[in-house]
Structure 1
Amino acid sequence: MTQKNRIVLQSFYIFNSTLCLKEGEEEKKILFYHPFSADIDTKIRSIGLVEAVIKFTETFNSKEPCNSVHTQKTRQVYLQVEPNFWMVMIVNVPNVSKTKDGTEYNEYQGDEIQDNVYISVLKQMYALFRLLSGTFQSLLDSSGVECLRQCLELFFPKHLLTLKFEHFDVLNIFNGMQYLPLNSITFLNVLCFVNQIQNHFPSIKSTAFMYNDSLIWTGIEPSNFQPIYQYMVTILLPAHVEIELKGGSMPRHSGFFSPSQPLHYCRYVIGPQSLTENSTVGKIPKVYVHSSATNQLEEYYLIVYRGFSSSVILFLDIKTDLTMELFTKLDTYMEPNLTKLGSDIAEYCSSQQIPSLITSVGDSGPRYVFFNNMNLAYKSTIHLDNRQSGNINISHEALKLIADIKSESITNSIFGETVVKTLNDYWVVGKFSNKREFYVAIQHKNANLIEISEEVKKLCDGELKGIFFQT
């Protein structure tokens, strides 16, 4: 009998070696350490070992610092997120308890943890922190090291609890966004709506529009909007939808309007909780969005308004005077428009019967992941949801193989193809064309390479016609 343990976080820390000016002050370089309960000697030794590894490996390749260390029982992943600032994640290597000749032993499975996946997770963690608080260096320069430590201690303990280490996979590498395709009329209505908002309210510098977890429009470049999208779908919307469901599919939010007024199905997710009972707008968060034009972070107030499964994300000038009058005017303008738009989008989505070559869940039909590096769009029939809950449609081995193909692919190559056959009769194909990537997993015992190529071509034509260009 075998029993396999899960991948769990052993430690996570952030340090800056330049904060330690002389021997005996090693504690000063520690900015954040999880678990907090670890004694100071353990923290100093752990960071000292990482510093030694990084320094030693620089003698072999100074341009590409060490990013991981493999041991039998742990996997250590390093990432320099800013000059002199390092984030380190250490997870246990899963093992299977086995018995042979009456003796029990552990068999460690290091190939279960893929470096490129966990490095991507560190990048996402940093991007989310930077979105909500700014860069480490800017906090250090403006407020001092103690303020930086406080910000890290406020953010990371809660965020670490949300991570599902055993379910990380190739989606973390892509870190893409789901787009919702609409017909031309509905999409133009959305575009007209967001443009009119900005025209009516000059303090709004940019706008984005989402329907459930899918993006329809953003005025911010996709690469810069990516952390905001992840914040919406992983943190903000799940908590709000849970509240909505407790009150029914279309609840009337009590306290938002008086009982004598008509039903009001739209409200601020980030903004005033009530426009009638409160005299203050409450705490409105600031976000720091990278600008490709200036190559710097630009600071905005973030407002999110939601109704009928639609979310309007507003980025307000940081100099804006946030008054109740402003939020009331925004609500008065957006509510009737969002009510109609949300209903139109829902009606369009329910009326669509998109033909698909993908058969029912649980069968052995082809599954695929598509990713477009140009707009960071992804589409997956391998994952049954985008919550990374382990709800996948193919074998774990095939899913890891896709991440391996992604890692081995030549990023500068315009065209290419990789085909791999596994021992359990899975064919995994990776195709690269015009900065688009297409990965297919097919379980077919007696197929040959020609048959698999034809099936992949048929899948491209049927599912991604006009999106993925084959050679």
Structure 2
Amino acid sequence: MSQTKVRHSFSLVKYFVFNTCWGAREGEEHKKLIYYYSKLSTTTSVSLDQKISDIGLAEAVINFGTQFGDISESLHGNKLRFVFHNLSENIWSTICISEPYSVHRSNDDNTHFHEVNDFEISNQFFKLKLESIYRYFCLLNGPIEKLCSQLEREPFLERCSQFFDLFIPHLELLPFNLIELYSSIQYLPLNNTTFMSVQSLLNCVQATDHRIESYIFLYNDKLISSQLSLPDTKTLYNYLTNVIIPEAVKEEINGIANKTRWLQVNMKIYLQSEQTFRSLCLFRSFNGSTIGLVLDKYDPIILQECEALLSSRLTSLTSKLQETVTHLAKQPESKSPNDVSVKDIKFIYINNTNCAQRGNTNCRKLIDSDFSRLIIDVEADLDLLDDENQMFELIGKNTNDTWLVANRCDMRTLFAILNHKNANLIEASDMIDALEKGHLKNIFFGV
């Protein structure tokens, strides 16, 4: 009997934020709600009783877990899954997703049945997604508990709604964006001459006014230089490359005439290192460079002086950066001792010391769900190790006969998938060693 199988992936159903300290009295449970989004609300409104029921369920599971000394991270049902994330002592966010499933249909009598694949994706992916959303919230609004203490209830709810209404309805779960999930950074390697040209321009801009506290400089989605702290750099970098710059590129494709322009002026951002807000002004050239100036206090006169300098020099500097990117793309592909091309190996390298991430596949739009799921699952297991500097190596075979290799040492991790089914364990290990020597020299200092 022949069958047709149709797979349905997971999807967002609900997202809500609530405060466990609010609405403590019976009949006032609805006051716990800070924000609520439902995919069904686009067609029919969600009743207040349903919102209260969802919050009550989440709070009950969380309280049940704390009775045993640990916070429950998720609740699995037959078709839905709830994943919880603690934003502050009393404020929680929850995402509800539909479990992935397959529909098997008989081609003979047209009967069909559903098979739920609840182990297709782990809770770690949704926890990372919730953390990513909150990082953006903190960047634009500051910590939620601080905002809650400073504002009255209604202004606070309005600020939260303004942010979440921009992000949640358009939240993309697929394809996987590992850069955003792990708040990583992709750096652009430069030769000494080009890097000095970049620093010379940035130093000249910063010297125009003492109120320019720091800067960040990107070429397309690669980071070149930043004076911000590492936590602030990775958050702002991800916000720019995943939210601001893609919209700017769309405008340029549609025919923006100016060679240089201000993308954002006096954009308020919260810096964790200083625990205060600063003014961010973004200047961009049409061919790919974006400079973010962090000002102690916004003043239009500062921007006029900076624009005069940047307009004359940024375009030519961007051309040099384009030459560097073109040169890197033309580098010959290496071969392993077993004559296996690097294109037969998918790898992603994560350096937790500087939040760098790189690979020979698009880490922002990873279509290979098997590879990305393995990375997320193994990375979660590695985080359970007591010592981050402890050396770890995993070599195993996947269900489709591809080899998975994971190496960690010195807070650096390499994940690789080898599409060479006839290789044995020793050959798979040798091929990954050849990859490290050819493309990732000296990444494991302790080995």
TM-score (norm 1): 0.86
Q: Percent identity?
A: 28
Give the C-alpha shift of residue 310 in structure 1: 0.6
C-alpha separation in 1, matches of 2:150 and 2:380: 38
Structure 1 segment 264-279 matched on structure 2, within 5 A = 265-271=259-265
Give the C-alpha shift of residue 162 in structure 1: 3.0
- Aligned: 1:15 with 2:28: no
- Aligned: 1:6 with 2:9: yes
Structure-1 residue corresponding to 2:34: 31
C-alpha separation in 1, matches of 2:51 and 2:342: 49
C-alpha separation in 2, matches of 1:363 and 1:67: 39
- Aligned: 1:83 with 2:89: yes
Query: Which 10-residue stretch deviates more, 164-173 or 446-455?
Result: 164-173
- Please, which of 66, 70, 75 is the counterpart of residue 69 of structure 1? 75
- Please, which of 436, 441, 444 is the counterpart of residue 420 of structure 2? 444
Query: Which 10-residue stretch deviates more, 195-204 or 347-356?
Result: 347-356
- Please, which of 342, 357, 361 is the counterpart of residue 378 of structure 1? 357
- Aligned: 1:460 with 2:436: yes
C-alpha separation in 2, matches of 1:173 and 1:332: 38
Structure 1 segment 383-422 matched on structure 2, within 5 A = 383=362, 386=364, 388=365, 390=366, 392=367, 395-409=368-382, 410-411=384-385, 412-414=387-389, 415-422=391-398
Structure 1 segment 228-247 matched on structure 2, within 5 A = 228-247=236-255
Structure-2 residue corresponding to 1:223: 231
Give the C-alpha shift of residue 399 in structure 1: 3.0
Gaps in structure 2 of 5+ consecutive residues: none
Q: SS of the residue aligned with 2:84?
A: strand
Change beyond 3 A, Cα 1:413–1:301: closer
Map Cα deviations across residues 340-395 of structure 1 (whole Å, 9 max, x no partner). Answer: 32122112322343233389xx9970110001001111002233x62x2x5x3xx5
Gaps in structure 1 of 5+ consecutive residues: 254-264, 272-283
- 1:356 partner letter: E
C-alpha separation in 2, matches of 1:175 and 1:427: 27
- Aligned: 1:111 with 2:128: no
C-alpha separation in 1, matches of 2:399 and 2:219: 41
C-alpha separation in 2, matches of 1:337 and 1:71: 58
Give the C-alpha shift of residue 139 in structure 1: 2.1
Structure-2 residue corresponding to 1:189: 197
Query: Which 10-residue stretch deviates more, 48-57 or 397-406?
Result: 397-406
Q: SS of the residue aligned with 1:110?
A: coil
- 2:417 partner letter: A
Structure 1 segment 70-469 matched on structure 2, within 5 A = 70-99=76-105, 103-168=111-176, 170-247=178-255, 252-253=257-258, 265-271=259-265, 284-291=266-273, 297-307=275-285, 308-317=287-296, 319-320=297-298, 322-323=299-300, 325-352=301-328, 353-357=330-334, 365-383=344-362, 386=364, 388=365, 390=366, 392=367, 395-409=368-382, 410-411=384-385, 412-414=387-389, 415-469=391-445
C-alpha separation in 1, matches of 2:148 and 2:374: 41
Structure-2 residue corresponding to 1:277: none
Change beyond 3 A, Cα 1:23–1:314: same
Map Cα deviations across residues 216-248 of structure 1 (whole Å, 9 max, x no partner). Answer: 01111222222211111111111111111122x
Q: SS of the residue aligned with 1:461?
A: helix
Give the C-alpha shift of residue 435 in structure 1: 0.6
- 1:50 partner letter: A
- Preserved CA contact (<8 Å) 1:223 1:375: no
Map Cα deviations across residues 10-62 of structure 1 (whole Å, 9 max, x no partner). Answer: 1100000112231111111100001252111001111111111111111112x
Change beyond 3 A, Cα 1:173–1:306: closer
C-alpha separation in 2, matches of 1:142 and 1:345: 44
C-alpha separation in 2, matches of 1:33 and 1:465: 48
Map Cα deviations across residues 305-349 of structure 1 (whole Å, 9 max, x no partner). Answer: 0113111011111x34x23x3321110122222123212211232
- 1:304 partner letter: L
